[in-house]
Structure 1
Amino acid sequence: MSGSIEGHCHCGTVRVTIPAAPDYINDCNCSLCLTRGAIWGYFPPAKVSITGETDRYIRADLRDATLATHWCAQCGTTTHWAAFDPDYDRMGVNMRLFDPTDYAGVEIRAIDGKSWDG
């Protein structure tokens, strides 16, 4: 991806490439995002490249789980989330994988995801 930005997990096993900085970043306070330490930028899945082995988690505490959260199988760093619906043209990428200068100036929105917890 020309002009793209690459980030990686703590150990470097998982690498995530995005086309550019996102339009905004969500800093969610739901129980999952808080414990996983993620802030989310959003992209069409076709525009994101992920290499390396990840494990995934599907929330069992929600009535209708719609996505899986992924992390590096080696170091445990949260990398991204992916929707189950293949027609959902959005995925979340943990922007903490990237150098903060890569997204300097991007609005970070505080999201009340705590109210969504099951």
Structure 2
Amino acid sequence: MLYKGSCHCGKVAFEIEGELGGVVRCNCSICARKGALLWAVPHGSMRLVAWGDDLGKYTFGKVSIVHRFCRTCGIHPFAEDVSQGSERSAYININCLQDVDLAAIQVFDFDGRSA
């Protein structure tokens, strides 16, 4: 299934091809503050359709994840791991997807504070 998503103002927009099963609620210091529900997908299944100079990045700690945000509205629609190659993942904040029934999605808790 094709999912479309964006930040609040729409300057960062993307599409993902995949099946949305469950998502992760991480309790690390940034995810807990953002309230993100993350869907891990192969990086190649996500396609940016709008970004320009509005796509910012933030890293911290071990710098294994690049947290992406819109420089205009501040919304964090996704993150990416920094590894290279075919195993690279994107972590989609499903709160930024169109037409998703959040109540119907199974949520798994992840202890990112201890990772």
Question: If the TM-score is normalised by the length of the shorter chain, which range does it land in?
Answer: 0.7 to 0.9
User: 1:56 corresponds to which residue?
Assistant: 57
Structure 2: stretches of 5+ with no match in the other structure = none
Q: C-alpha root-mean-square deviation of aligned residues, in Å?
A: 1.9
TM-score (norm 1): 0.82
Aligned to 2:73, the other structure's residue is in SS state coil
Q: Give 1:36 shift.
A: 2.3
Equivalenced residue count is: 111
TM-score (norm 2): 0.84
User: 2:107 corresponds to which residue?
Assistant: 108
Structure with bigger strand share is 2
**8 Å contact from structure 1 (residues 7, 16) kept in 2:** yes
Deviations 1:5-38 (A, max 9, x none): 1011111111121113423100111111012221
Structure 1: stretches of 5+ with no match in the other structure = none
- Identity rate, percent: 23
Q: Give 1:103 shift.
A: 5.6
**8 Å contact from structure 1 (residues 22, 43) kept in 2:** no
2-structure distance, mates of 1:41, 1:110: 12
Q: Give 1:99 shift.
A: 3.8
User: 1:37 corresponds to which residue?
Assistant: 35
Deviations 1:71-103 (A, max 9, x none): 011101001111211123311111110246356
Q: Which amino acid aligns with 1:89?
A: R
User: 1:95 corresponds to which residue?
Assistant: 94
Deviations 1:54-81 (A, max 9, x none): 100010xx2x321210001110100111
Q: Which amino acid aligns with 2:82?
A: F
Runs of 4+ more than 6 Å apart? none
